[in-house]
Amino acid sequence: MILVLYLNWVTMGSTKQQKAYLLHRQDYRDTSNLLTVLTPDDGRVSLIAQGARRPKTPLKAILQAFQCCELEWRESRSDLGLLLRADFIGPATHLSGRALFAGFYVNELLVRLLSPGVSDPQFFEQYHQTVINLSDNSEPVLRLFEKNLLLHLGYGLDLWQDKSGQDIDPQATYHYFFEQNFVRLVQSDDPQGLKIPGEALCALREEKILPQHRMVLKMLFRQILQHYLGKKPIMSRQFWWAYD
């Protein structure tokens, strides 16, 4: 089986070279890793890094989360490529505490929601800026990333008009319904469900999230993303709670 895969890489695959961020890494066979990386031109890519777990390999220091690398790999007939070279191009981003768990949360979303091979250099740059901007006060950065992620996936929120085609009113209150967008509430409406101030939606649209908007927007994106993630819980969120 290993010989067949090797022949596929050698005879069939073209070689690619791109900037990349490591999203996930797991053990593969005795000394190798199976990598999931984000690239600008090929989106999410899966690679085998042969020998990446050997004691003296330089790959251990290079293939780290949240630091930008340049990778060269050979494609195969399958979606699994063979890593040929990895170079650190920096700058290194050192995350700790809540910012570290926020970064793990972002990476987990991408591993679970991105389809392989979807090119979007602008989204790669948005991820890059998210990593740089993460800090102990990561909530606004995460909300903007979630907003851009939904847009990248084709599920972008209309933050200009509600379901009826009326402009979002900062003085009004809204509910969000899947495939219907935001619906304005009136006094006679059922008060159950998440009530979203129009002011918060306008702030999200302008990417100027104020402290009073953070909790309601956090609950909004949690509701939306869980719909697409399914029943499996987000593991990094559990680590965040443990840290708190």
Is pTM beyond 0.85? Reply is yes
Q: What is the mean pLDDT of residues 198-203?
A: 96
Nearest residue to 103 via CA among 142, 146, 74: 142
Q: What is the pLDDT of residue 1?
A: 39
More confident residue, 220 or 92: 220
Nearest residue to 169 via CA among 154, 152, 182: 182
Q: What is the mean pLDDT of the chain?
A: 88
Q: What is the pLDDT of residue 190?
A: 64
Q: What is the mean pLDDT of residues 81-102?
A: 89
Q: What is the mean pLDDT of residues 200-223?
A: 94
Alpha carbon distances (Å) from 95 to 92, 133, 197, 214: 10, 10, 33, 22
Q: Calculate Rg over the CA atoms of the chain.
A: 21
pLDDT-derived band at 97, boundaries 50, 70, 90: confident
DSSP labels for 126-167?
HHHHHHHH--SS-HHHHHHHHHHHHHHHT-----SB-TTSPB
Q: What is the pLDDT of residue 191?
A: 61
CA distance linking residue 117 with residue 139, whole number of Å: 29
Highest-scoring range by mean pLDDT, 5-19, 57-71, 83-97, 175-189: 57-71
DSSP helix/strand/coil, 215: helix
